[in-house]
Chains A and B, each alone.
Chain A
Amino acid sequence: MSKTAKKEGGLVLDAAVYSGEALRLAAFVFSDKAEITLKQGKGVFEVYFEGAGPEFSPGDYLNEALNQQCRLDLAGKNSKAAGMIATRALLSAAGNAGKKA
Chain B
Amino acid sequence: MALKKAAKKTSAAAVPPQLLWKRDGADFLVTNDFGHYSWLKKKDFDSLLACKVGESHPLFAALSAKGFVRDRLDFDGLAAKWRKKNAYLNTGPGLHILVLTLRCNHKCLYCQAAAGGAAAKDTDMTPATARKCVDFAFNSSNPGITIEFQGGEPLLNWPALTAAVKHARARAKTAGKELKLALVSNFSLMTEEKARFLMENEVSVCTSLDGPADLHNKNRCFSGGNSHAVTLKWLKYFQKKNEAQADGYRVFKPSALLTVSRYSLSRHKEIIDEYVAAGLEDIFIRPLAPIGYARNLWGSIGYEAKDFAAFYLKSLAYILKLNRSGVVIREKMAAMMLDKIVNSRDPGYLDARCPCGAAIGQIAYNYNGDLYTCDEGRMVGWEGDDVFKVGSVFKDSYAKVMASAPTRACVVSSNLEAQPDCARCVYKPYCGVCPVYNYEVQGSLWGDMSSSDRCGLFKGIFGALFALLKKPGNEATLKKWVDK
Contact = CB atoms under 8 A, between A and B. Distances in A.
B420 A85 contact: no
A85 B90 CA distance: 10
A4 to B, nearest CB: 18
Contacts of B118: none
Contacts of B423: 74, 78
Contact of A71 (B141, B420, B451): B420
Q: How large is the interface on B (under 10, 10 to 19, 20 to 34, 35 or more residues)?
A: 20 to 34
A81 B92 contact: no
A31 to B, nearest CB: 8
Contacts of B443: 29-30, 32
A88 B83 CA distance: 12
Contact of B415 (A28, A85, A92): A85
Nearest to B33: A81
B217 interface: no
B150 interface: no
Interface string A26-49: 001110100000000000000000
Contact of A92 (B91, B398, B442): B91
Contact of A90 (B91, B402, B417): B402
B353 to A, nearest CB: 9
A92 B423 CA distance: 23
Contacts of B446: 67-68, 71
A64 interface: yes
Interface residues of A, number: 27
A67 B448 contact: yes
Contacts, number: 84
Given A29-B442, A71-B446, A86-B412, A81 B417 contact: yes
A89 B355 contact: yes
A92 B87 CA distance: 11
Given A63-B448, A74-B423, A86-B355, A94 B417 contact: no
A101 interface: no
A17 B407 CA distance: 31
B355 to A, nearest CB: 5
B444 interface: yes
Contact of B417 (A68, A82, A93): A82
B89 interface: yes
Contacts of A25: 444
Given A78-B418, A85-B89, A88-B89, A95 B399 contact: yes
Interface of B: 89-93, 141, 354-355, 359-361, 398-399, 402-403, 407-408, 411-412, 415, 417-420, 423, 442-444, 446, 448, 450-451
